[in-house]
Amino acid sequence: MDEIWHGPVEDDFDAHEVVGRRTQFVGAVWDVRSDDVLISDHSVTRDLVVHPGAVGIIALDEHDRLLLIRQYRHPVGSYLFEPPAGLLDTHKESALACARRELVEEAGLQAHVWHVLIDFLNSPGGTSETFRCFLARGLEQVPEGRSHTGEAEEAHLPQAWVGLDEAVKLVLAGKIQNPTATNGILAAAAARARGWADLRPADAPWPVRDWVESLGNVRTPPV
């Protein structure tokens, strides 16, 4: 079999047939499902976390400093530095509207200039999570500040403003490991080096999100 790819190097939407589905667990945020999938001449079972998707924000000020928030993450038992982010937990809200809301809720900031920075898939071998990271500039504090409406690990979110070049060093040194931070920081540095010429508009299409949703693999809020 020829294992040299001769086509374009870009992700391709081409799902194999699913002949059986079993929900194993229904959680507060995501579900776990087992799918029976036909791949070539084989029928295999694949478990997946059915995720609602999420957004993140690289908020960059006029001094090329970005905002990081220190937040506890229980699965890894660690406090991680990460950009403001949140779940797409309702179909009534666009990705951009969600990002605007999260920036206010988690940082007490609003931005006047928005672009799509990067789209990525968090662990696509096991979860359907789609993630869109925005670049937000033209920042200002909202008059009322952060609302402090969160609880538990969201109740206290210390902020750190870090220069973009320093943030890249922290990522490459393994001192920042949250995927929103690593992807967003490196993407922002690359975009700046290209004079911000390749940025997409904030309302740019999100084809992979639409595709994953069409497959029935996006967790929707319980009725």
Q: Which domains does the chain have, with CATH numbers?
A: 18-50 (no CATH), 54-201 (3.90.79.10)
Nearest to 115 by CA among 206, 199, 209: 199
Which one is catalytic: 10, 17, 151, 154? 154
Structure tokens at 213: 């949703």
* pLDDT at position 144: 76
CA angle 174, 138, 134 (to 5 degrees): 50
Q: CA 198, 201, 205, 207: dihedral to nearest 10 degrees?
A: 30
* Sequence letter at residue 48: L
**What three-state secondary structure class fits 181?**
helix
pLDDT of residue 121: 97
Task: Let me know if 154 is a catalytic residue.
Answer: yes
Residue 73: the pLDDT is 94
- For the whole model, what pTM was predicted? 0.93
Q: How far apart are CA 183 and CA 191, in angstroms?
A: 12
Backbone dihedral angles phi then psi of residue 76, each to the nearest 5 degrees: -110, 5
Q: pLDDT tens digits, the chain, 223 residues: what are they?
A: 678 999 999 999 999 999 999 999 999 999 999 999 999 888 999 999 999 999 999 999 999 999 999 999 999 999 999 999 999 977 778 999 999 999 999 999 999 999 999 999 999 999 999 999 999 999 999 987 666 565 666 667 899 999 999 999 999 999 999 999 999 999 999 999 999 999 999 999 999 999 999 999 999 876 5
Residue 81 exposure: Cα atoms within 13 Å on the Cβ side? 17
* Per-residue pLDDT, 175: 98
| pLDDT at res. 151 | 62
Neighbours of 21 (CB within 10 A): 12
